[in-house]
Amino acid sequence: MPLPKAELHLHIEGTLEPELAFELAARNGVTLPYASTEELRRAYLFTDLQSFLDLYYGLMAVLRTEQDFADLADAYLARAAEQGVRHAEIFFDPQAHMARGVSMETVVGGLSRALATSEERFGISTLLIMCFLRDQSAESAMETLKAAEPYLNRITGVGLDSAEAGHPPAKFREVYEEAGRLGLRKVAHAGEEGPPAYITEALDVLKVERIDHGLTSMQDPAVVERLVRDQIPLTLCPLSNVRLRAVDILEEHPLREMMAAGLLCTVNSDDPSYFGGYVGDTFHAVQEALGLDHEALRTLARNSFRASFLEDDEERRAR
Ligand code: ES4
Ligand code: ZN
């Protein structure tokens, strides 16, 4: 029995397996620039975040209809259930779809249709976090937030993803202020490839409650001290860090040091189809590579619920 856990850093588009990509391509009459699933898999040799993002956005061309998004979410939920996931906070990238003429209605409609019955079918509670693409303009992010207003009953929070370098969190101050006024929870990717100062900026300017990645916090003791003091959760993605060359090999991932420093660490899969494993696989991989004992794994699983927005809702109801 895998350890029950929550997954807090998961891009639904990053769960698109090559087999489903080819199935959707055939269904939608989309021609992919790969001859086979094997050839596509062989293209998953990334040199950095951008080299991954280019392939990731390209492959999204197969996602066209509400049914496609429902099928994508269903495939993820089935895999996640096998890996002990009991709660998932799921990112999606509406700008990447709307740029291709796929509406917010189609994206949120398909995802939320699958998620609505996830508890009964898979034993997984879910919520949706809409991400803004930080390499696009703040105006585009604001338009995306406006386009999402009719669907806010199905969206719990906002996040910030895509290419980090040169796109500091402060660029999105107003969008995050507006999201707060609309009652949305706030997270942001920070310190994946970008400097530790971006982590502080996401906290101070965007008022985020959680940091996605936060890996580079270890370069600045003052940032670590702040994150420890305020017990800000970090959603680490060790397999992603290896595949995107943020760390050389998993054995050199600083997870152990981060936990020992008192950081509130969680372990997540990010884009499991591309990075070699779902969240249970990721737990196994760090256990092996870093020699984590069962107690450390239990701490990581417990942290995943503590850091979730679910826990918070329960705490709030209890008060
Ligand atoms: C992402 Cl690994 C990663 N980093 C930033 N943005 C992303 N979107 C999907 N995966
Ligand atoms: Zn991510």
pLDDT at 313: 55
Indicate the top mutation candidate among 162, 269, 282 to test ligand 1's pocket, ranked by most ligand atoms within 8 A of CB: 162
Give the nearest ligand 1 atom to 11 CA: 9
Q: What is the pLDDT of residues 101-114, one digit of tens each?
A: 999 999 999 999 99
CA separation for the pair 5, 84 (Å, rounded): 6
14 touches ligand 1 (CB under 6 Å): yes
User: What residue segments make up the domains of the chain, in order of their start?
Assistant: 5-318
270 touches ligand 1 (CB under 6 Å): yes
Ligand 2 midpoint to CA 271 (Å): 7
pTM: 0.97
Ligand 2 midpoint to CA 235 (Å): 9
pLDDT at 1: 81
Residue 291 near residue 284 (C-beta atoms within 8 A): no
243 touches ligand 1 (CB under 6 Å): no
Indicate the top mutation candidate among 135, 270, 274 to test ligand 1's pocket, ranked by most ligand atoms within 8 A of CB: 270
Q: Which ligand is nearest to the CA of 268?
A: 2
Contacts for 218 with CB less than 8 Å, ≥ 6 apart? 224, 254, 257, 258, 261
- Catalytically active residues, by annotation: 192
5 touches ligand 1 (CB under 6 Å): no
193 touches ligand 1 (CB under 6 Å): no
49 touches ligand 1 (CB under 6 Å): yes
Nearest to 13 by CA among 90, 92, 85: 92
In degrees and rounded to multiples of 5, residue 268 shows phi and psi of: -140, 175
- Strand bridging mode 85-92 / 233-236: unpaired
pLDDT at 311: 59
Ligand 1: residue whose CA is nearest its atom 8: 162
189 touches ligand 1 (CB under 6 Å): yes
Tell me which residues of the chain have a pLDDT lower than 50: 316-319
Ligand 2 midpoint to CA 269 (Å): 8
CA separation for the pair 168, 232 (Å, rounded): 19
pLDDT at 312: 60
Q: What class, spelled out in words, does domain 5-318 have in CATH?
A: alpha beta
Percentage helix, strand, coil for the chain under 3-state DSSP, each rounded to 5: 55, 15, 30
Contacts for 277 with CB less than 8 Å, ≥ 6 apart? 239, 269, 284, 285
Give the nearest ligand 1 atom to 275 CA: 2
